[in-house]
A and B are shown apart, each in its own frame.
Chain A
Amino acid sequence: MSYEELDHTADVRLRVRSPSLNSLFEETALAMMNIVYGVSRPGTAEKTLELEAGNTENLLLDFLSEVLFLSEVEYLVFSSATVQIAGNSLRAVLAGESFDPERHRGGTEIKGISYSGLKIVKEDEEYVLDILFDV
């Protein structure tokens, strides 16, 4: 995955780079799954999401919060995400496997996605995101 962990004393701060906004959203959602559950396998469980927000950053916040919510209440660990953004709306298909306490307890709980320091910028041919998760 093309993300790096930036320094932060208390929480998890990531920098994610990706060639498109769609893939930026996809990779950030999967990075989040990796932090919470560790390594996961592909699976057949599937969830579809449709969202709208006032701007791209809020769309990302809402999307990630929704992924976290779905994963927790449906006991699913997503290993793939397909995101299509059109303007300020989004459609996503998430796929993965059921939570297995034997294999998915290698990570740490994300309590929330912070607005602090959140930024998405376009640098040359790629989008760069800085984001902080409260863990």
Chain B
Amino acid sequence: MLERVTRLGEYEWEVPAGTVPGMRVPGRFFLSDSLYRSLESGAVQQLANVATMPGIIRYSMGMPDIHWGYGFPIGGVAAFERDTGVISPGGVGFDINCGVRLLSTPLTIGDLDHRRELIETLYQSVPTGVGAKGPVKLSLGDLEDMMVKGAAWPVNQGYGLQKDIEYCEERGCMAQAESQSVSAKAKQRGMPQSGTLGAGNHFLEIQVVKEIYDPDAARAYGIHPGQICIMIHCGSRGLGHQTCTDHLKVLEGATKRYGIVLPDRQLACAPLSSPEGKAYFGAMAASANYAWANRQMIMHTTRTVFEKMYRIDYESMHLVYDVAHNVAKMEEHSHEGKRVEVCVHRKGATRAFGPGSPDLPPAYAKTGQPVIIPGSMGSSSYLLRGTTTAMERTFGSTCHGAGRILSRSAAKKTISGAKVKNSLSKEGIIVRAPNDGAIAEEAPGAYKPSAEVVRIVDALGISNLVARLEPLGVIKG
């Protein structure tokens, strides 16, 4: 598979049409020489598979954190034309609207005493890991409401500030949500889990702003050197997982009914205009809204902990932004000299809308959308801004994280969780997780260097660096 790849530029590579039968467009991905060396053949195969799907326009694209997933590669971006295109859960993933938000505080590094106690309090306050139940008992009516209103639901219940809503991608709510397309099973899973972090690579991290690359953008985003921020990474929990499972089954049948031939069953899809496609879109949007509400509730708990421990105002902690990195959205983009409406699938990729784009809060209109790139545990995270180049080249998209290079099992075999914890502790980073295995799986050595991934997106111009944040403490599921 890799032998078919051709190089187009310093960071740009092509998978020619014909690499797998039925490709409608070529594949394109963005990597440096050093990251290309860790590219798996499976990821290229998946990128090529996506190019066979009906209605895809321009390219099947892979961001610099591209790696082997299921269905789409992770880091995969593809846009499907509204009238002829399809929608697929394989381009979104099981964790619908897995995403990241960044909360700024008025504290600086010198103010952050009792750090171990802070991490322990957060670990006790934010339910984490397998089997965790949320802090609020939702009724079915509450859940339905949450799926329709998204981040606004917890805010209206007192778990946040009105202005938080404005600082979420899509204002924390996809209007196409249809809670009736979410199964009773998914709702049953979602009811007790709202406000829980989950497990795996999900985390809540205390960070300090270490370096500013773009002072004007940093000022617009309210970020300055030495500042304490909190990054929250999680998704739609069992509700989203079940929604994907339920609709994959329906869409597999639909794929056959509509005569669509696919090289991978996980790419099961249906025309955007079909009843099956619409039902998945509605259920996916409802799950995405649940995820925004979930991150809002976790942020509320975090603010409350900081308010009490450091005697700062709840309102002095600002949501910088919240981005989704597993989602499909209807958006308008330029294609072959025309404005077209497309369904952009981002699977492990972040929206990176440039200055003047719709859906940005007025305060960010000139700067562009904040793009939040979490590093692996113990490594740097980055704040970037969306660009006009991203609008022109990648349907307003960029990378979403570091991207794995070592499998979880290999990480557990070769890395000791206890040793990682100790070495991070020596660097002043406190890790709190339910078990050492969870730490080994997510150890920094298991990931591509986040610095290299963001360097490439910055060099390509599909988003530009604003600030670097370093971890001080992390809680994991």
Contacts and interface: CB of A to CB of B under 8 A. Distances in A.
A90 interface: no
A42 interface: no
Interface string B410-445: 100000000000000000000000110110010000
B11 interface: no
B420 to A, nearest CB: 16
A67 to B, nearest CB: 12
Interface stretch (A17-25, A79-87, A106-114, A120-128): A106-114
Given A111-B94, A111-B95, A117-B70, A65 B130 contact: no
Given A65-B245, A111-B95, A10 B438 contact: no
A108 B189 contact: no
B400 to A, nearest CB: 12
A69 B265 contact: no
Q: Chain A: interface secondary structure?
A: loop
B130 A9 contact: no
A101 B127 CA distance: 11
Contacts of B40: 9
Q: Chain B: interface secondary structure?
A: mixed
B101 to A, nearest CB: 20
A44 interface: no
18 contacts: A5-B409, A9-B68, A10-B67, A10-B69, A11-B408, A75-B131, A101-B131, A101-B132, A105-B435, A108-B199, A108-B441, A109-B200, A112-B244, A114-B71, A114-B266, A134-B70, A134-B93, A134-B94
Could you say which of A5, A113, A116 has the most chain B C-beta atoms within 10 Å of its C-beta?
A: A116
A8 B407 contact: yes
Contacts, number: 109
A9 B266 contact: no
A108 B70 contact: no
Contacts of A93: none
For chain A, the bracket of interface size reads 35 or more
A135 B131 contact: no
Contacts of A12: 408-409
B189 A72 contact: yes
Given A112-B94, A115-B268, A11 B69 contact: yes
Contacts of B244: 111-112
Contacts of A7: 407, 409-410
Nearest to B241: A111
B185 to A, nearest CB: 6
A38 B408 CA distance: 15
A135 to B, nearest CB: 5
A116 to B, nearest CB: 4
A101 to B, nearest CB: 6
B12 interface: no
Closest 9 CB pairs of A and B: A112-B94, A115-B265, A116-B70, A111-B94, A109-B199, A105-B434, A114-B70, A116-B266, A115-B266
Contacts of A94: none
Interface string A1-35: 00001011111100000000000000000000000
Nearest to B43: A9
Contact of B265 (A36, A101, A109, A116): A116
B214 interface: no
A65 to B, nearest CB: 5
A118 interface: yes
Contact of B241 (A62, A105, A112, A118): A112
Given A101-B132, A115-B268, 15 more contacts: A8-B68, A9-B42, A9-B407, A10-B68, A11-B70, A73-B189, A105-B130, A107-B437, A109-B129, A109-B130, A112-B94, A112-B245, A116-B266, A134-B70, A135-B200
